[in-house]
Structure 1
Amino acid sequence: MTPGRVICSLTVLVLVVYASDTPDTLRVTNVLYRHGDRAPTLKLPLDRVNSSYWKYGYGELTEVGKAEQYRLGLWLRQQYDPILTKIFDHTNIEVRSSDKDRCLVSAYSNLAGLYSNQTPAEDLQLPYVRWQPVPVHTEPVITDEILAMNRPCSKVDKSQIEAFTSPAVLQINKDYASFFKLVANHTGLDLSSNGFRDIWLATDSLYCESLHGLPLPSWTQQQNVSCSNNVDIPCEGKTVWQVMKEMSDLQFLVMFNTSVLHRFEGGPLLEDIVSKFKAYVAGHRTIQFNMYSAHDTTVAATLSALGVFDEKQPEYASAVMIELHNMTTDAEKWEVKVFYKPVTDNNTVLSLSMPGCKSPCSLTDFALMLDKYKITDWDTACENNPKPVPPTSILGLTESEVIVITICTAVVFILLIISCICWVRGRSGGHRGHIYDRM
């Protein structure tokens, strides 16, 4: 690997296996998946399609995406039927989603497949509907460090700025200057500041369009791309589109390639999983199926933190399964296994061996390996600037509390005056009849 390489590739033992009967040692599984097929996140300045082309709007799950998730739900039912109840039971399954429409709708679509073979929905008095509502829990994006990974964190911001201004990235921007200008001219995007960081907007939009019947524009098939023999993204013999896709994959390496980013981006979800494993082993939790509906960034961050990322942008509806097994020969022996299903519509599953916890990986070793990611106080660990303390009054009340009390007092005083006036008029005005009291 050359010194200029953005990241050194991890050596990961990957074994191709196929879905089979669930082993009787399985006790708990955690399934993290990317949402299904969606529309582009935004309209390009020189977009070739109108906004109306996307039925549900930009960034929303498409009908194709709903179907992908439904099929993934069918596969998960086949794979994990022994530990799933036939109908929803809150003591058996828990579902959490990123608070984005595409993730929430993916979760509902997936669950429709997961519980597709149940009896008619008698509790809904809908005998012809084989479907049951299943609760999906979520957290506002701005406070969600587990799935949306969008909770403010100064250390993350600083680390990502450093990653996208590293010597290797600056060299890519320099070597591919004419390439970025070509893409900018055809899409209307401004790629002059940091083309490597921002080109994903063009790649994503064209990729989404290509999946929905629109061929890639002719300019993306041009060859003889100029890149000054860049060592991280060689361009010889490649088309513009091939280079754009390679840059997208490399971006996912850059985004999650430091110990800081492992801790704050992938760490919170893994810590949540470990805590659920421990609670189950201790007998404090009965749930055996934990579902997480999230993003490609969530999947990549999790695999990166485990040291098993394959350096490819996760596809729609790709899934990570982190399982807890109890070996029948030793009731005290708990083991963790990690699998990755990179494509929805086949049964191929990758069994991943973690560099820090060789298979078979005991739960104790798994927890110790992830202990470095533990975060007790988010703001302190992130080195976030403390929020200013509001000034207090002489009585120890905040300014906002004083304002509220003043307004309430004024309202009560005004109502008292109005009541007195009405009482006086009532005594002096004689009988006025029984007028309907709207109160």
Structure 2
Amino acid sequence: MKSCEAIIFTAHFTFALIQCVGSSELKLIFTQVLYRHGERTPLSTYPNDPYKEDAWPNGFKQLTVEGCRQQYELGNFLRRKYSKLLSKSYKSHEIYVRSTNTSRTLASAACNLAGLYRNFQPEPNPIHTVPEEEDFVLLRTGLPCPGYDLAFKKDSRKVFSKIDKANEDFFKFVSKMSGIRDASTKNIGRLVGALEREIRNNFIMPDWIFAVWWDPTMGKYRTVYEMLYDINSVRQLTKFNSKKKARYQSGFLIGTLMKNMKRKVDNFKKESKKMNMYSTHDGTVMSLMYALGIGNDINPPVGSCIMFDLYKNSHTDRFYVEIQFRNDTKERPISLILPK
């Protein structure tokens, strides 16, 4: 934990200094880009769902055509942003691409590269991955971690029980209609994930999804789907919305990002690598942001992207880091300032 704190302090210190240096004096020499995959099909569904896996052309857990388009557009954006850093054509010594070992993230990386390099012709294995059980860098959230499990259990018990108690009749209704046994805050994730994507893809939904129900939290009537969506957002945020929980999930990732920058700083004249690209999940992006103290209580949208840009002062031997975030709707990225 101490090493994690030191890493975060260093990142904040260097970023703060960049505000005091004229942009004309800085040269971008390296960047690390980490993004959430594009739009996907549901991970699974709920018992009474009229739409099963065969309703989706490629089945569950897959990148959609829209998801590929989103990543292609993100690749176009990265090309414009880093046009002076990267060669126009793909060169393996300039860019390293890493993905978690899932179809949707691997496909997202391929679509992104197609946008980044307009005439991209894949070479053998340009996208690197490792088995999930060995991935401690991008670390699929949810893998066993006793320290995290204890912290999450402590936080979620209080938050979830309050929601469940206030919505007892609502959850009984959801259980009856969905077929989920004892529906509650902790077990509606797959239900909401399926509903969200079915609605987005214009599927004809069962009437109960849009039935009106009293929401005790908002103090007004809302649809069942609206209530489920918001409750599930709280469930998802509770996984990461403290530095302690987020650092358990993102400690290796932060350490890797820092080591990559240090390697470039120590060997900037010889080190040819200009970009490291990471194709990941919402939990990876969210836990990283909370670990750095810049979480915004919003689940990162598909195609959202964090960029860590490393600059060198052309007049000195000093290096600086700028962190930016781009969501799925804004062309211009937002600069992020880490808290003291």
Q: TM-score, normalised by structure 2?
A: 0.85
The equivalent residue for 2:207 is 218
User: Cα distance, 1:217 vs. partner?
Assistant: 4.0
Q: Please tell me the residue identity of whatever aligns with 1:161.
A: K
Q: Which structure is higher in RCO with an 8 Å CA cutoff and minimum separation 6?
A: 2
Q: Distance in 1 between matches of 2:167 and 2:309?
A: 43
Compute the displacement of 1:186 (Å). 2.1
> Partners in 1 of 2:164 and 2:258 — Cα distance?
40
| Corresponding position: 1:304 with 2:293 | no
Asked if the contact 1:250/1:312 (under 8 Å) is kept, the reply is no
Deviation at 1:47, TM superposition (A): 0.8
The residue type equivalent to 2:90 in the other structure is F
Measure, in 2, the Cα distance between the counterparts of 1:256 and 1:189. 25
Change (3 A) 1:83 1:43: same
Gaps of 5+ in 1: 1-20, 119-129, 228-232, 357-439
Residue of structure 1 equivalent to 2:156: 164
Amino acid corresponding to residue 308 of structure 1 in structure 2: I
Identity %: 29
Closer, same or farther in 2 for the Cα pair 1:105/1:27, shift >3 Å? same
Structure 2: which amino acid aligns with 1:110? N
Q: Does the C-alpha gap of structure 1 residues 310 and 215 become closer, same or farther in structure 2, counting only changes over 3 Å?
A: farther
Name the larger-Rg structure: 1
Mapped partners of 2:246, 2:53: distance in 1: 37
Residue equivalent to 2:170? 179
Give the aligned length. 314
Give, in whole Å, the separation in 1 of the partners of 2:297 and 2:334: 14
Measured against aligned partners, the alpha-carbon deviations of 1:76-111 in whole angstroms (never above 9, x if no partner) come to: 111111111222222211000001111111111111
Kindly indicate whether residue 80 of structure 2 is the aligned counterpart of residue 78 of structure 1.
yes
1:145 is displaced (CA, Å) by: 2.3
Moved over 6 A (4+): none
CA-CA distance at 1:131 after TM superposition: 2.8
Unaligned runs of 5+ in 2: 1-22
Match of 1:35 in 2: 37
Residue 187 of structure 1: how far off its partner (Å): 1.7
- Letter of the 1:131 partner, please give it: Q
Question: Are the equivalent residues in 1 in contact too, given 2:241–2:295 (CA < 8 A)?
Answer: no
Distance 2:179 2:160 in 1: 22
2:258 is equivalent to residue 256 of structure 1:
no
1:238 alignment partner, one of 215, 219, 222 = 222
Q: Distance in 2 between matches of 1:278 and 1:285?
A: 11
Distance (whole Å) between structure 2 residues aligned to residue 155 and residue 235 of structure 1: 37
Cα distance in structure 1, aligned partners of 2:153 and 2:108:
31
Task: Name the CA distance, whole Å, in 2 between partners of 1:275 and 1:197.
Answer: 36
Match of 1:202 among 182, 191, 208: 191
> For each residue in 1:292-332, what CA deviation from the matched residue of structure 2 results, as whole angstroms up to 9, or x when unmatched?
0010101101111111111111111111111112233x423
Shift of 1:24: 5.7
Instruction: Indicate how the Cα distance of structure 1 residues 222 and 92 shifts in structure 2: closer, same or farther if over 3 A, else same.
Output: same
User: How does the TM-score come out when normalised to structure 1?
Assistant: 0.67
